[in-house]
Structure 1
Amino acid sequence: MQTCPNCHQPITPGSRFCEHCGFDLESAPAKPAARRQAAGQHPKAKRPKSWLTRLIWGVLTVAVLVVIFLGVGFYHRQAGKPKQITLITDNITANQSTDLAKKLVSDDPSLKITSDTVQPFLDYTRKHPQYVKNMRSDLLNSGETRDHTFKLVTSGHTLGVLPVYKLQVATMHPRLSTNVANATIMANKTAVITAKNDHFTYTAGPLFPGHYTFKLSGSRSQASQTANLIGSQDRNQAIDLSAKAAKATKETTTKQTTADSGSGETPTPDDRPTTTKTGKAESDMSSDAQVAIDAASDEYGFDTDDETYTVSEPHPQVLEIKTYDADSGRHDDTFRYDQVHSIVSVYNSSTGKFETNDDDD
């Protein structure tokens, strides 16, 4: 139905003037559609997209998907979780304390993780290489070691998407006790605390898991204990540094008689018994030597503080440890420690060979 463009009332088709307002309908501008129809033109139909355009977009989409797929695969091979776990455990095996420290976080913020902090753990794993193998397997399978000491955590993302992993370590808090007042308790070569009385107890930590030698310092009384603080069962291990009664001093009486007078003569300095200090205390040895000494002590049951030591390397990655009585300087035993296989053997003078405990079976 046509309407007047002026008053918008219905009009009769073909009228020149509006019956309502008298508007000259022929003077009104024609609508575009009407003009096109009057000129014999028709609206243009929409042209469909060409098959070439659709093909180009399809190829681009496939290319993007392929790039994403290859990128994800490359990440998993070169920087994914398995690769990152392997790099961390390789740092442990290679004794790379500085690189290892960068890949660790602590469950206790007060523990500052450095190359020195992690050294007790590296000392432990050198004696127990199987621990690292189990560690790698556990982290790959469950993200946590079976002793609940190390757990894989996300510490950030590469490119905002790809996760970066670190190991969170559960710290150790051993319970120390001693009956020696004013003695300083040492953990390896680090002073922990000074005992305030002769019935002193103290919860140390946080300590990084690993192999430790606890001993008294700054006192004439001596006491020491070695401990492997490595699993959840060791987290609050009791360390007893109670000093034992001093050893009784042996008196040596030298009697000299003369054939005729029966009178005694005081021995000259060359005649008197002498004590020769040979070797060094364990605490003064290198970390490699300390690991070897501790392994020999564990295997053959001697107190590391009762001996002094000399350590040599007769063969690559084999250390020879000679032990001497700390009081008399007398040579006691000779051991060899295989650093690769963590095997200790003792020299048997009757056979002229180094033998292990297994050889006795």
Structure 2
Amino acid sequence: MKICPNCKYKNTEDAHFCENCGHSLENINLDTQIIPSASKQKKSINQHSKIFIALFSVIAAMLIGGLFFGNYYYNYHRQMNRIADAFEAGDSEKLTKMVISGEEDYQISSKKLDRLVDYYQLSSHEKNFTDFIESLRTNQVELQDFNIKQTGRYFGLFKKYQLELLPVYLKISTDQAGTEIFLDGKKQGTSKGDDYLLTLGPLTPGRYELSGRLEGQENQANLDLVRYKNNDFEKNSNVHLDLHRISFKVTSNIDGAQVYLDDEAVATIDEGFAEINDYVWHQGLTLELRYQLDDEELKTSSRRIDDDEYLAEDYEANDLQSMITLDFSEVQTSNDVQNFLTELYDDLSDYTSEYVTFETPQKNDFGKYFVNARENSDEQDFEKFINEIRDDNGRNRVKAQPEVESVTMTLENQYTVQYLIHYDTVFNDRNLDEIKQVFRYKQATLKYNTEDGQLQIDNLGGIENFETVDEGS
């Protein structure tokens, strides 16, 4: 064939003019024409195809990998876990990207979210915070202060979830004109009549300090304006300021325990009681006792004081109506220790008599008064003492009576006890007078066995904590 030099059209071998453009083909030398071979054309096509297929495969793999990663990273549970992680870390700055406002008049900021984070970092809310984090991760319990919202898509593909924060409102009423109202130390207003109502908000859920001031009297309260696991939310959100005073007596089973009204320590239990005089009452006022041990703090149950209780003008120190009893659970009192020691020394007195059997069963029963039973070194000394009296032909028996002087709780279920022991030695010869002796154990350690529900002697403090008060002379 002849290839037109003008338009490259392929003409028949005997053509004199190009059938496509009319160009003369007379001078075309068929021997010198270069016609691409089919194999070269095919090879070129194959190379381009391979490059295209390779590029397509890489792009497809990247897209598929991106989809898999996106489905993994942006799935609902992992987004909730990242929000939970930010709460656990107390990272309010990060939370601003994860939380949106549930109201137009309320704007999210890290400073505002700090209040909610600070609320959950209080030791009294530790359990609720753990539950809140678990609720975020599992979505098994309503969050109450938040809604979970889909707010768009990442890269137009993966659903984006954020927490919608529901702000709170505080309604404050008073029937006392001229009452100044403060929230977190900032004055919010002054009541102008006998039926005054002030609404504050929208506010971030959290703890707020509300105070009212009237003619030198001040009423202050901490309000937990959080919905999640807070049965007092409605009551705390609707506060009536009433600046009357209350007086009462608190009794408890641990001397040295601190008396708390809300989170303020106001008195200490001494000789079983403490008096609270002329304390300004506020709505939601709660009473609680706390006792600090070496490694932990014990607390009683919380007691709410209502507005018509314990009015100062009605207070009488010895009136049962003016008393509140708050005991620590499973705490042993001086009476409990006295009863325990009395029972122990009664058995000891009986066993010193030769008319009472003191064999292995009795020794095992006696060992129950001690930690580690008969392996306890003090228990072994008691057995030795009992046997010495029984083997002495001159002594008939010993009568022993304990007298508790002080009990101090040093650890949970552990007590340091100081007590006297009165020994009265009776002789077989009735012509001999009884010998009365008094000794003191200054630092005996007792433990409360929670499984058996009884006290036991751990140790009596050693010879350095034992003294003679009256040797019988």
When normalised by structure 1's length, the TM-score is: 0.52
CA spacing shift, 1:86–1:213, aligned 2, 3 Å: same
The 1:192/1:156 distance shift into structure 2, 3 A limit, reads: farther
* Deviation for aligned residue 1:230: 1.8
- Give the C-alpha shift of residue 200 in structure 1: 1.4
Partner of 2:88: 93
The 5-angstrom pairing of residues 236-255 of structure 1 reads 238-243=237-242, 245-247=244-246
**Residue 63 of structure 1, CA deviation:** 1.2
**2:60 aligned with 1:61:** no
Cα 1:192/1:65, change in 2 over 3 Å: farther
Letter matched to residue 166 of structure 2: A
Summarize the Cα distance change of 1:112–1:147 in structure 2 as closer, same or farther, 3 Å threshold.
closer
Q: Deviations over 1:248-295 (max 9, x none)?
A: 899xxxxxxxxxxxxxxxxxxxxxxxxxxx77765669xxxxxxxxxx
Conserved 8 A contact 1:174-1:239 = yes
Q: Which residue of 1 aligns with 2:126?
A: 126
Residue 101 of structure 2: aligned partner = 106
User: 1:150 matched to which residue of 2?
Assistant: 147
Q: Aligned match of 2:199 in 203, 218, 237?
A: 203
Give 1:230's aligned amino acid.
R
Q: Whole-Å Cα distance in 1 between the matches of residues 247 and 119 of structure 2?
A: 38
1:193 aligns with 188
Q: Report which of the two has the higher share of strand.
A: 2
Structure 2 CA distance, aligned partners of 1:50 and 1:99? 54
Q: Distance in 2 between matches of 1:31 and 1:305?
A: 105
Would the aligned equivalents of 1:175 and 1:236 in 2 still touch at CA under 8 Å? Answer: no
The Cα shift of 1:347 comes to: 4.7
- SS at structure 1 position matched to 2:201: coil
Task: Note the 1:5-16 alignment, pairs <5 A.
Answer: none
SS of the equivalent of 2:163 reads strand
- Contact 1:183/1:216 (CA < 8 Å) preserved in 2? yes
What does residue 9 of structure 1 align with? Answer: none
Residue 174 (1) aligns with residue 183 (2): no
Q: Contact between 2:87 and 2:95, CA under 8 Å: does it hold in 1?
A: yes
> Counterparts of 2:331 and 2:209 in 1: how far apart (Å)?
26
Query: How far apart are the structure 1 equivalents of 2:149 and 2:46?
Result: 52
Q: Distance in 2 between matches of 1:207 and 1:225?
A: 15
User: Are the aligned partners of 1:229 and 1:237 in contact in 2 as well (CA < 8 Å)?
Assistant: no
Conserved? CA contact 2:83–2:98, under 8 Å:
yes
Report the CA distance between 1:205 and its aligned residue: 0.9
Letter in 1 for 2:238: I
1:171, distance to aligned residue in structure 2 (A): 0.9
* Percent identity (aligned): 13
8 Å contact from structure 2 (residues 168, 225) kept in 1? no
**1:135 maps to what in 2?**
136
Residues 1:36 and 2:25 are matched in the alignment: yes
How far does residue 61 in structure 1 lie from its aligned partner after superposition?
0.7
**Alpha-carbon offset, residue 67 of structure 1:** 1.5
Instruction: Verify the 8 A CA contact 1:184 1:195 in the aligned structure 2.
Output: yes
1:284–1:111: structure 2 CA closer, same or farther, 3 Å change rule?
farther
Partner of 1:117: 115
Contact 1:172 1:209 in 2 (8 A): yes
Tell me the distance in 2 between the aligned counterparts of 1:212 and 1:120. 11
Does the 8 Å contact 2:96/2:108 carry over to 1? no
1:72 match:
67
Deviations 1:191-237 (A, max 9, x none): 46233233211222111224556443465153757455326x96897
| CA spacing shift, 1:29–1:92, aligned 2, 3 Å | closer
Amino acid at match of 1:117: R
The whole-number CA distance in structure 1 between the counterparts of 2:189 and 2:117 is 23
Q: Distance in 1 between matches of 2:332 and 2:107?
A: 46
Residues 182 and 334 of structure 1: CA distance in aligned 2, closer, same or farther (over 3 Å): farther
Given that 2:169 and 2:199 are in contact with CA atoms closer than 8 Å, whether structure 1 keeps it comes out as yes
Change (3 A) 1:146 1:240: closer
* TM-score, normalisation: structure 2: 0.42
- Name the aligned partner's letter for residue 102 of structure 2: D
CA distance in 2: counterparts of 1:52 and 1:307, whole angstroms:
86
Other structure's SS at 2:197 match: strand
Aligned equivalents of 1:346, 1:243: Cα separation in 2: 37
Aligned pair in 2 of structure 1 residues 38, 313: CA closer, same or farther (>3 Å)? Answer: farther
Mark the CA change 1:37 to 1:171 in structure 2 (over 3 Å): closer, same or farther: farther
The secondary structure found in structure 2 opposite 1:134 is helix
**Structure 1 residues 125, 333: closer, same or farther in 2, change over 3 A?**
closer
**Counterpart Cα distance in 2 of 1:247 and 1:30:** 119
SS at match of 1:198: coil
Q: Which gives a bigger RCO, structure 1 or 2 (Cα 8 Å, sep 6+)? A: 1
After superposition, the CA RMSD in angstroms is 5.2
Question: Gaps (5+ residues) in structure 2?
Answer: 1-16, 250-257, 266-281, 306-311, 318-322, 337-408, 414-473
**Structure 1 residues 237 and 243, CA gap change in structure 2 (3 angstroms):** closer
SS in 1 for 2:217: coil
Which 10-residue stretch deviates more, 43-52 or 177-186?
Answer: 43-52
